[in-house]
């Protein structure tokens, strides 16, 4: 009865604006496991599963979500471009709920898990690291990694089949962040000997930390010794920390400082330069921030590449358009250069269309800092002012925004050309968020992604791997199977089996 009264109070505080009324909130631990059950939980992964459908059902581009366990939570899920713009541009009124990110501070405080003056300081110190010189490094190193893969791993074979495309995209993204983030070249056939005093190579530590970070997030400290996998994760975290401290020490001690443009070195330099009176980063903060670049930049990139390859395998006509465009810029198949990056407009359009359909971050949380209101609208063009009490959870529902038919014609279709139109609706495309807290690594990803896509498509044709058990499926069934996803740290493709065929 008490919970029922709480629910009534919550619903009243938002003027009974339509939406979910459930026992568990969608973002609670239980809500992350339970399926959709009326009155109990909106369901696991419901933002991506429902896309725009809940907004259509509740009649507005913002619906409410009121839940009572373990405490009363009142929230809105936004899918209207103008309302979202208002939220992301008012950082003081709608700050980031940093408590939800506390678990990302194992190595130290950082730019993702902070707000207010602390965040401002981190952003100011880290932003210059994402420089033009770093982008060029990203481009050159990505091309080198791809060439290394063609020559030494694929050995220019006519056909390469993979059971799950992330088996390729995760290592590529890891190698790029390894060199452009940490300043350490690691490669496909890396058989580095274990350095003295270490229990794991840098490559293994980086790989385990970035792919199993969720274990560290969900398993309590006292249970980390329970299984071999947990133990390895624990060791990998300790080892990565050790490697990073060694890197800091060796660079501080080296007499002649060579010019380096990886994020780690730039951050180290910036944190030592206190000429403008800014307090320098403590070692813990340096570790915290560089670690967060690894977490934020690895999986997002790898999963986006995986969806891109999957979509191009399904839509052969789109792949051919892309191939012809790439060929028109590098007809002789040579290595593309960083200076040419902006010419690959079709490659960028393919990425944007992939990110529209499969945004890696499906809900961007904000919290309301004061009693206020928001204006929302709907498909019929009606407007309404809704009350937003202090403490309301706001979620920018990227899948709903990206599939909202007000902005996107045939939203379920894969049509990269929509991004070639100079008037495409920028405010309705938020895979990198927007405003002051937008992704700082956007250009890093775009540089890396375009280099990978351009090199791969110019040399190989991507097809769906044929498997006898799926021989009779329709195109729609095949698309659904290939692009099926589950929630993880970021939206995670389940299994994308592909074949890469060498172009003649
Ligand atoms: C497809 C690729 C990527 C996507 C879709 C993506 C998406 C996002 C989103 C949605 C946010 C806002 C998160 C929030 O408000 O909680 C964000 C923030 C951030 N991203 Fe990315 N990201 C990508 C790649 C990268 C890369 C490659 C890096 C670094 C190398 C990076 C570093 C960061 C950092 C440090 C922040 C926090 C910025 C701040 O709070 O000031 N991201 N990203």
CATH, residue 375: 3.30.43.20
ipTM of the complex: 0.99
In angstroms, the CA 191 to CA 186 distance is: 10
Residue 320 lies in a domain: yes
pLDDT at res. 29? 74
Residue 117 lies in a domain: no
Mean pLDDT across 382-392: 98
Same domain? 149 vs 13: no
Least confident range of 109-113, 139-143, 204-208, 383-387: 204-208
**Nearest atom in ligand 1 to 292's CA:** 35
Q: Is 182 in the pocket of ligand 1 (CB under 6 A)?
A: no
pLDDT at res. 362? 95
**Nearest atom in ligand 1 to 398's CA:** 10
Above 70 in pLDDT, residue 295?
A: yes
Q: Is 439 in the pocket of ligand 1 (CB under 6 A)?
A: yes
**Nearest atom in ligand 1 to 449's CA:** 1
Same domain? 138 vs 248: yes
Nearest to 420 by CA among 499, 347, 340: 347
User: What is the distance in A from the centroid of ligand 1 to the CA of 114?
Assistant: 14
| Phi/psi of residue 233, nearest 5 degrees | -65, -45
Mean pLDDT across 420-437: 97
Show which of 391, 408, 425 is a domain's final residue. 408
Q: Is 293 in the pocket of ligand 1 (CB under 6 A)?
A: yes
Above 70 in pLDDT, residue 274?
A: no
Same domain? 96 vs 161: no
Least confident range of 262-276, 296-310, 446-460: 262-276
| CA-proximal residue: ligand 1, atom 10 (nearest) | 432
| CA-proximal residue: ligand 1, atom 39 (nearest) | 437
Residue whose pair of structure tokens reads 């089949």 in the numeric block: 161
246 vs 470, residue with greater confidence = 470
Same domain? 334 vs 463: yes
Mean pLDDT across 329-356: 96
Same domain? 337 vs 281: yes
| CA-proximal residue: ligand 1, atom 6 (nearest) | 432
Residue 114 lies in a domain: no
Domain tally, the chain: 2
Residue whose pair of structure tokens reads 């070692």 in the numeric block: 283
Same domain? 249 vs 126: yes
Residue 188 lies in a domain: yes
At 167-197, the pLDDT tens digits run: 999 999 989 998 999 888 887 776 567 888 9
Least confident range of 125-134, 147-156, 185-194, 442-451: 185-194
Q: Is 454 in the pocket of ligand 1 (CB under 6 A)?
A: no
Residue 418 lies in a domain: no
Q: Is 450 in the pocket of ligand 1 (CB under 6 A)?
A: no
Mean pLDDT across 14-30: 91
In angstroms, the CA 421 to CA 262 distance is: 35
At 41-80, the pLDDT tens digits run: 999 899 999 999 999 999 999 999 999 998 999 999 999 9
pLDDT band at 256 (very low <50, low <70, confident <90, very high): low
Mean pLDDT across 387-404: 98
Q: Which domain holds residue 385?
A: 2-106+362-408
Separation of CA 1 from chain center: 41
Residue 171 lies in a domain: yes
Burial of 346 (0-12, 13-18, 19+ CB in 10 A): buried
Q: Is 123 in the pocket of ligand 1 (CB under 6 A)?
A: yes
pLDDT at res. 183? 87
- Nearest 5 degrees, angle CA 196-CA 200-CA 204? 140
Same domain? 129 vs 49: no
Same domain? 206 vs 126: yes
| CA-proximal residue: ligand 1, atom 17 (nearest) | 439
Decide if 169 contacts 303 (C-beta within 8 A). Answer: yes
At 2-21, the pLDDT tens digits run: 999 999 999 999 999 999 99
Same domain? 249 vs 160: yes
Nearest to 77 by CA among 86, 64, 68: 64
pLDDT at res. 316? 98
pLDDT at res. 192? 63
Residue 426 lies in a domain: no
In angstroms, the CA 436 to CA 119 distance is: 11
Nearest to 125 by CA among 333, 318, 266: 266
Averaged pLDDT score across all residues of the chain: 92
Same domain? 284 vs 249: yes
Decide if 175 contacts 315 (C-beta within 8 A). Answer: no
- Give the CA diameter of the chain: 74
Least confident range of 105-119, 183-197, 282-296, 483-497: 183-197
In angstroms, the CA 424 to CA 408 distance is: 9
pLDDT at res. 403? 98
Above 70 in pLDDT, residue 261?
A: yes
Same domain? 183 vs 79: no
pLDDT at res. 348? 98
Least confident range of 32-41, 195-204, 210-219, 437-446: 210-219
Q: Is 432 in the pocket of ligand 1 (CB under 6 A)?
A: yes
In angstroms, the CA 414 to CA 354 distance is: 8
In angstroms, the CA 157 to CA 171 distance is: 19
CATH at 302: 1.10.630.10
By most ligand atoms within 8 Å of CB, the mutation choice from 179, 292, 441, 445 for ligand 1 is 441
pTM: 0.94
pLDDT band at 255 (very low <50, low <70, confident <90, very high): low
In angstroms, the CA 481 to CA 302 distance is: 19
Residue 415 lies in a domain: no
Least confident range of 88-102, 402-416, 430-444: 88-102
Same domain? 389 vs 310: no
């Amino acid at each position: 009865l008490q919970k029922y009264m709480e629910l009534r109070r919550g619903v009243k505080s938002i003027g009974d604006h339509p939406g979910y009324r459930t026992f568990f909130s969608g973002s609670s631990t239980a809500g992350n496991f339970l399926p959709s059950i009326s009155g109990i939980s909106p369901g696991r992964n419901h933002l991506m599963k429902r896309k725009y459908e809940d907004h259509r059902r509740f009649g507005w581009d913002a619906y409410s979500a009121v839940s009572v366990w373990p405490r009363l939570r009142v929230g809105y899920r936004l899918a209207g471009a103008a309302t979202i713009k208002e939220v992301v541009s008012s950082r003081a009124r709608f700050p980031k709920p940093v408590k939800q990110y506390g678990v990302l501070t194992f190595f130290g405080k950082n730019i993702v898990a902070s707000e207010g003056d602390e965040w401002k300081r981190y952003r100011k110190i880290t932003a210059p690291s994402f420089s033009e010189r770093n982008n060029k490094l990203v481009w050159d190193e990505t091309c080198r990694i791809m060439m290394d893969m063609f020559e030494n791993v694929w050995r220019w074979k006519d056909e390469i089949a993979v059971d799950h495309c992330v088996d390729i995209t995760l290592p590529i993204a890891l190698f790029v962040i390894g060199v452009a983030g940490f300043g350490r070249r690691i490669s496909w056939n890396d058989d580095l000997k274990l350095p003295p005093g270490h229990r794991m190579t840098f490559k293994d530590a980086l790989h385990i930390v970035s792919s199993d970070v969720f274990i560290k997030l969900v398993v309590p400290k006292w249970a980390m010794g329970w299984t071999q996998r947990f133990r390895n994760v624990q060791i990998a975290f300790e080892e990565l920390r050790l490697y990073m401290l060694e890197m800091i020490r060796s660079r501080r001690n080296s007499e002649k400082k060579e010019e380096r443009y990886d994020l780690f070195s730039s951050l180290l330099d910036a944190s030592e330069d206190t000429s403008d009176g800014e307090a320098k980063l403590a070692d813990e903060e340096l570790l915290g921030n560089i670690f967060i670049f690894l977490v934020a930049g690895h999986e997002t990139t790898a999963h986006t590449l995986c969806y891109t390859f999957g979509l191009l395998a399904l839509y052969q006509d789109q792949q051919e358009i892309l191939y012809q465009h790439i060929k028109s810029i590098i007809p002789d198949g040579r290595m593309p250069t960083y200076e040419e990056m902006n010419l690959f407009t079709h490659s960028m359009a393919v990425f944007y269309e992939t990110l529209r359909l499969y945004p890696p971050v499906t809900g961007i949380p904000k919290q309301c800092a004061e009693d206020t209101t928001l204006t929302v609208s709907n498909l019929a063009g009606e407007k309404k002012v809704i009350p937003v009490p202090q403490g309301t959870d706001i979620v920018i529902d990227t899948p709903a925004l990206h599939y909202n038919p007000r902005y996107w014609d045939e939203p379920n279709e894969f049509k990269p050309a929509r991004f070639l139109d100079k008037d495409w609706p920028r405010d309705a495309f938020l895979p990198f968020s927007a405003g002051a807290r937008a992704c700082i690594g956007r250009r890093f990803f775009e540089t890396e992604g375009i280099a990978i896509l351009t090199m791969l498509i110019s040399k190989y044709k991507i097809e769906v791997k044929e498997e006898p058990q799926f021989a009779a499926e329709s195109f729609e069934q095949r698309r659904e199977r290939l692009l099926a996803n589950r929630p993880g740290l970021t939206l995670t493709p389940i299994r994308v089996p592909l074949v890469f065929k060498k172009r003649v």
